[in-house]
Amino acid sequence: MLGTLEITEKELKAYEESLLVKEMVLDIKYTYGSRFRNFHGIDQLDYMVETLKNKPYSRRAISVLWDPCLEVNNNEGPCLDLYQAVIQDNVLYMTAYFRSNDIYNAYPRNIYGILKIQDELCKRLNLEKGYVNTIACSAHVYERNFEDLKVFSESNILFCDEDERGYFFIETGDDGIQVTLYNKEGVEQKVFQGTSANGLRDAICFHTSNIEHAFYLGQEIAKAEIAYKNELPYIQDKELILKKIKEM
């Protein structure tokens, strides 16, 4: 998806820095980082860490990015306005609230940044990562991106009924194929490893609840096996590109 939207790793790194660095950039009215790390002199990241360190059960680990002292007289303002973190069973979960959310262009960058903030909190508090929940008052796509979204959706989005037992992430590596099962909340449940589609099929089949999902998994695992055995790149839900054999 990032390649389709022409988002580079360099751009994501710069965006991550803008969320976590408190210093302002010249000629810019605000950055998410300045609001987050220096809100009227308060480092809200430090506040969240100290709050949860002292009281892991607290529901007060909240940071705000909307400043009414400025926004009431300003036509510009942050689209992402609030972070909240909570801990349950040594797992840190996050919620973010958007007043306005450009789903096509901004959201991929936004969710990347929120996950990086979660990474920082988990690292400082020595906690496992849980799911991230985002709430958007207005989630939208601008008219200028309608055609781009149409092209993207026609080539990337698959439609199937949701599997009550969860979903799978498939990847290949030097040691074979790895299939990871997550529940509907995004929490890892089980990891399956193997080098053949048949073996993985037998191990996974009891962890699906609808036939459409099972057919899909069979298709993807077969592609992963071909990729692994022929040293080809495999990306889930993408077409498998086979290398042509040169004529002798």
- The catalytic residue positions are 79
CB atoms within 10 A of CB 155: 10
**What does the angle CA 144 – CA 149 – CA 150 come to, to the nearest 5 degrees?**
110
CB atoms within 10 A of CB 95: 16
What does DSSP assign to residue 205?
A: G
Residue type, 43: D
How far apart, in Å, are the Cα atoms of 11 and each of 8, 74, 104, 105?
5, 27, 16, 13
The span from the CA of 35 to the CA of 24, in Å, is: 9
Token representation of residue 32: 């998410």
Q: Measured in Å, how far apart are the chain's first and last C-alpha atoms?
A: 38
Contacts of 243 (CB under 8 A, 6+ apart): 230, 232
